[in-house]
C-alpha cells in the first residue's frame, strides 16, 4: 500500500511538472493498473508498454484498442481509439482530435495513449487491449484530472479581482487545499490552506504572475497537486510613468502590454489615447495588429500647455485595460528675453510642469560660440563654462562673449537622468564694436576737447607775450622802462616759460 502510494506520488509529480512523459519501468507492470494525474488543459500520456519479446514482431498483425470505462457506471465502455490490423484508425468522436498513439512506437511495444489537451470529463479508467493473432494483452490506466479554474476566465487583467480554484476527479472528500506561489507557501496573511480553498487575489499585480501550485489533500490521505502558470495582462514598466520632454521637442508616451495578446488567444486588439485638456477631450487612436503589444503615442512638438495626464486604453478581446501616463515638460525661462547685452546679469530658470519634488537640476554649457570661433583662446575659461552647475537657476552675473552658445539643463531623479532642455544664449556685441565704441568715442572726444582748449590757452598766452614785447621805440623803452617794466617783462617771461612747460 505504501509502495503503491509512493508510486502514485511519483507518477503524479512527473506528470504534473512535465506532462507527456511515461513512467519508467512501466513495461514490467503489464496488466497492472496505474493512476496518472493531469491538469485540464495540459497533455498526458497513458502508459502502456508490452515487452516486444512476447510477439509484435510483425506490427501489421497487431491491433490496439483503447477503451474508457465511463466515469458513470451505467455507461458502456467508450472506444477511444482503435488501430486495426490494416493500420486503420477509429476514434471516438468527442476525443477524436485529441488522442493519438505513435505508429513508430508500436514496433517497440509502446502502445501508450496521448491525450492533448486533457479535459476534466476525460477522467476515468482506460484500458488498452493489444491483440496479436489470438494472443491478447491489456494495460489499465486510471486518469485523474485536476482542474484549475480562473474567475473571471483568462486573460487575467492586472488589478482586476481574481479567484483561483482547484478541484479534481478524486472521489474522496477534500480535507484541505493549499496554494504555493513559485514554490513558496502563499503567506497566510494573503491566503492560505483551507477547506473551500479558492485563492482570491484582490488586486493582481505583475508580481503575482508565475507558477502557482495547488495541493489537494483528501480524507483517504491522497495528496494531489498541479502547477498552473499564471499570466497577468497588464502594462510593462512602472505603474504611473512620467515622461519628460523639453519644450519644443517631440515626446513619446509609452504603452506596452506585458504579453502579446495572441498569447491569450486574443487577436482583436486596439489602442486608444485620450487626454482631458480643460473642457474638451483630445483623443488619438493607435492601430496595431495582434503581433504587436506596443501602442505608443508620438507627439511631434510639445509645449508646457501639453503637459498633463494622458490615458492609454487597450482593448483586448472584450476587455479594456488602461494606464495613465504623465507628460512633464521641461522649460527654461530667461530673465532677459531675446538678445542679451554683454555685461548684463542673466538668470536662466529651469522648471518642470509636473515636479514630483525629488528632482535635481544641473546646468552645463554644451558648446561656447567663442570656443568655436577663437580656438586659441579656448583655455581654462571655457573649461570653467563646461563644468556643471547644480540647481534649477543658472546665474551669469556679467554676461560675456564666452557665455554665448548652448546651455543645457538636465533633470535628474533617483532613477537617473529624466530629461533635458537646451537654451541658446545670444549675446550682443560680438564684433567688439557698437556699445563699447560709442563709449570710447565719447572719451576720445572729451580728450580732444581738453587738448584743444589747452592749445588755445597756449596760443593766446604766446600772442599776449608778443604784444607786450613789441614797443615801437626801444630807446624810450630803455629810458623809462628801467625798473618796473623790466621787472614786469621778466615776470612775463617766467610766466611764458611756465606756460610753455605746461603746454
Ligand X SMILES: *[C@@H]1O[C@H](CO)[C@@H](O)[C@H](O)[C@H]1NC(C)=O
- According to the binding rule CB under 6 A, does residue 226 interact with ligand X? no
- According to the binding rule CB under 6 A, does residue 331 interact with ligand X? no
Q: How far is CA 326 from CA 159, 209, 369, 422, in A?
A: 20, 26, 36, 21
* Binding range to ligand X, per CB under 6 A, among 98-106, 154-162, 227-235, 477-485: 98-106
Binding characters for ligand X, 444-473, by CB under 6 A (x = yes):
------------------------------
CA distance linking residue 341 with residue 403, whole number of Å: 11
Q: Nearest approach, Cβ of 288 to ligand X (angstroms)?
A: 6
Whether the CB-CB separation of 349 and 330 falls below 8 Å is answered with no
Residue among 200, 211, 219, 291 that touches ligand X (CB under 6 A): 291
Residue among 292, 315, 344, 367 that touches ligand X (CB under 6 A): 292
Bridge partners of 36, per DSSP, are: 143
Q: Nearest approach, Cβ of 235 to ligand X (angstroms)?
A: 18
Burial of 82: CB neighbours in 10 Å, binned 0-12, 13-18, 19+: middle
Q: Nearest approach, Cβ of 157 to ligand X (angstroms)?
A: 20
- According to the binding rule CB under 6 A, does residue 169 interact with ligand X? yes
Q: Nearest approach, Cβ of 177 to ligand X (angstroms)?
A: 12
Residue among 102, 249, 400, 428 that touches ligand X (CB under 6 A): 102
Binding to ligand X (CB under 6 A) within 111-130 occurs at 112, 114, 120
Q: Which CB sits closer to ligand X, 4 or 163?
A: 163
Give rounded-to-5 percent helix, strand, coil for the chain. 25, 40, 35
Q: How many residues bind ligand X (CB under 6 A)?
A: 17
* Binding range to ligand X, per CB under 6 A, among 172-180, 286-294, 337-345, 479-487: 286-294
Q: Which CB sits closer to ligand X, 45 or 340?
A: 45
Q: What 8-state DSSP symbol labels residue 111?
A: -
Q: Nearest approach, Cβ of 116 to ligand X (angstroms)?
A: 10
- Length reported for the chain: 503
CA distance linking residue 37 with residue 60, whole number of Å: 32
Residue among 8, 15, 19, 22 that touches ligand X (CB under 6 A): 22
* Binding range to ligand X, per CB under 6 A, among 287-295, 307-315, 395-403, 405-413: 287-295
Our CA angle for 158, 162, 168, nearest 5°, is 135
- According to the binding rule CB under 6 A, does residue 105 interact with ligand X? yes
- According to the binding rule CB under 6 A, does residue 147 interact with ligand X? yes
Cell matching residue 123: 477522467
Binding to ligand X (CB under 6 A) within 334-353 occurs at none
- According to the binding rule CB under 6 A, does residue 101 interact with ligand X? yes
CA neighbor of 113 nearest in space, from 145, 77, 140: 140
Q: Nearest approach, Cβ of 291 to ligand X (angstroms)?
A: 5
Alpha helices by DSSP H, 63-203:
103-106
- According to the binding rule CB under 6 A, does residue 11 interact with ligand X? no
- According to the binding rule CB under 6 A, does residue 382 interact with ligand X? no
Report strand pairing: 405-413 vs 416-425: antiparallel
Whether the CB-CB separation of 43 and 117 falls below 8 Å is answered with yes
The separation between CA 387 and the C-alpha centre of its own chain, rounded to angstroms, equals 31
Burial of 250: CB neighbours in 10 Å, binned 0-12, 13-18, 19+: exposed
Q: Which CB sits closer to ligand X, 22 or 369?
A: 22
* Binding range to ligand X, per CB under 6 A, among 97-105, 176-184, 389-397, 478-486: 97-105
Burial of 209: CB neighbours in 10 Å, binned 0-12, 13-18, 19+: buried
The separation between CA 500 and the C-alpha centre of its own chain, rounded to angstroms, equals 88
Residue among 63, 110, 191, 226 that touches ligand X (CB under 6 A): 110
**CB burial readout 117-145, b (16+ within 10 A) else e:** ebebebbbbbbbbbbbeeeebbbbbbbbb
> H/E element holding 386?
helix 380-386
CA distance linking residue 82 with residue 91, whole number of Å: 6
- According to the binding rule CB under 6 A, does residue 167 interact with ligand X? yes
Binding characters for ligand X, 405-424, by CB under 6 A (x = yes):
--------------------
* Binding range to ligand X, per CB under 6 A, among 2-10, 104-112, 128-136, 231-239: 104-112
Q: Which CB sits closer to ligand X, 169 or 351?
A: 169
Q: Which CB sits closer to ligand X, 11 or 353?
A: 11
Helix (H, G, I), strand (E, B) or coil at 29: helix
Q: Nearest approach, Cβ of 271 to ligand X (angstroms)?
A: 12
Cell matching residue 147: 482542474
- According to the binding rule CB under 6 A, does residue 289 interact with ligand X? yes
- According to the binding rule CB under 6 A, does residue 43 interact with ligand X? no
* Binding range to ligand X, per CB under 6 A, among 2-10, 284-292, 432-440, 450-458: 284-292
Q: Which residues bind ligand X (CB under 6 A)?
A: 22, 45, 101-102, 105, 110, 112, 114, 120, 147, 149, 167-169, 289, 291-292
Amino acid at each position: 500500500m505504501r509502495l503503491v502510494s509512493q508510486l502514485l506520488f511519483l507518477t503524479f509529480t512527473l506528470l504534473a511538472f512535465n506532462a507527456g512523459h511515461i513512467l519508467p519501468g512501466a513495461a514490467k507492470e503489464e496488466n497492472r493498473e496505474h493512476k496518472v494525474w493531469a491538469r485540464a488543459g495540459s497533455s498526458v500520456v497513458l502508459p502502456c508498454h508490452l515487452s516486444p519479446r512476447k510477439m509484435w514482431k510483425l506490427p501489421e498483425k497487431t491491433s490496439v484498442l483503447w477503451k474508457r470505462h465511463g466515469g458513470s457506471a451505467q455507461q458502456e465502455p467508450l472506444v477511444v481509439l482503435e488501430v486495426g490490423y490494416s493500420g486503420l484508425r477509429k476514434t471516438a468522436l468527442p476525443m477524436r482530435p485529441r488522442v493519438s498513439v505513435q505508429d513508430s512506437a508500436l514496433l517497440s511495444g509502446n502502445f501508450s495513449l496521448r491525450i492533448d489537451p486533457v479535459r476534466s470529463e476525460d477522467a476515468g479508467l482506460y484500458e488498452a487491449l493489444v491483440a496479436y493473432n489470438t494472443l491478447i494483452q491489456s494495460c489499465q490506466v486510471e486518469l485523474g484530472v485536476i482542474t484549475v479554474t480562473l474567475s473571471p476566465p483568462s486573460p487575467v487583467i492586472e488589478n482586476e479581482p481574481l479567484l483561483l480554484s482547484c478541484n479534481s476527479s478524486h472521489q474522496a472528500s477534500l480535507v484541505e487545499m493549499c496554494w504555493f506561489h513559485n514554490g513558496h507557501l502563499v503567506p497566510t496573511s494573503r491566503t492560505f490552506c483551507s477547506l473551500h480553498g479558492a485563492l482570491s487575489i484582490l488586486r493582481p499585480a505583475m508580481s503575482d504572475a508565475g507558477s502557482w501550485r495547488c495541493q489537494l489533500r483528501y480524507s483517504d490521505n491522497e495528496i494531489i497537486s498541479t502547477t498552473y502558470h499564471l499570466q497577468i495582462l497588464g502594462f510593462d514598466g512602472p505603474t504611473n510613468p512620467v515622461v519628460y520632454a523639453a519644450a519644443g521637442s517631440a515626446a513619446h508616451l509609452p504603452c506596452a502590454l506585458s504579453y502579446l495578446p495572441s498569447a491569450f488567444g486574443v487577436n482583436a486588439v486596439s489602442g486608444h489615447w485620450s487626454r482631458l485638456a480643460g473642457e474638451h477631450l483630445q483623443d488619438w487612436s493607435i492601430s496595431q495588429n495582434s503581433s504587436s503589444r506596443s501602442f505608443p503615442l508620438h507627439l511631434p512638438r510639445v509645449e508646457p500647455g501639453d503637459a498633463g495626464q494622458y490615458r492609454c486604453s487597450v482593448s483586448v478581446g472584450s476587455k479594456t485595460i488602461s494606464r495613465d501616463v504623465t507628460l512633464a515638460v521641461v522649460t527654461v525661462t530667461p530673465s532677459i528675453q531675446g538678445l542679451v547685452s554683454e555685461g548684463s546679469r542673466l538668470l536662466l530658470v529651469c522648471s518642470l510642469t509636473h515636479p514630483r519634488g525629488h528632482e535635481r537640476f544641473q546646468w552645463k554649457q554644451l558648446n561656447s560660440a567663442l570656443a568655436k570661433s577663437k580656438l586659441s583662446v579656448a583655455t581654462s575659461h571655457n573649461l570653467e563654462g563646461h563644468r556643471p552647475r547644480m540647481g534649477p537657476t543658472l546665474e551669469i552675473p556679467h554676461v560675456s562673449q564666452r557665455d554665448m552658445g548652448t546651455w543645457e539643463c538636465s533633470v535628474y531623479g533617483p532613477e537617473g537622468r529624466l530629461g533635458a532642455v537646451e537654451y541658446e544664449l545670444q549675446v550682443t556685441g560680438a564684433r567688439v564694436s557698437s556699445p563699447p565704441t560709442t563709449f570710447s568715442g565719447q572719451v576720445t572726444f572729451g580728450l580732444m576737447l581738453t587738448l584743444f582748449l589747452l592749445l588755445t590757452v597756449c596760443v593766446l598766452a604766446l600772442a599776449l607775450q608778443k604784444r607786450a614785447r613789441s614797443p615801437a621805440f626801444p630807446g624810450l623803452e630803455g629810458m623809462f622802462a628801467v625798473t618796473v617794466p623790466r621787472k614786469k617783462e621778466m615776470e612775463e617771461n617766467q610766466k611764458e616759460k611756465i606756460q610753455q612747460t605746461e603746454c
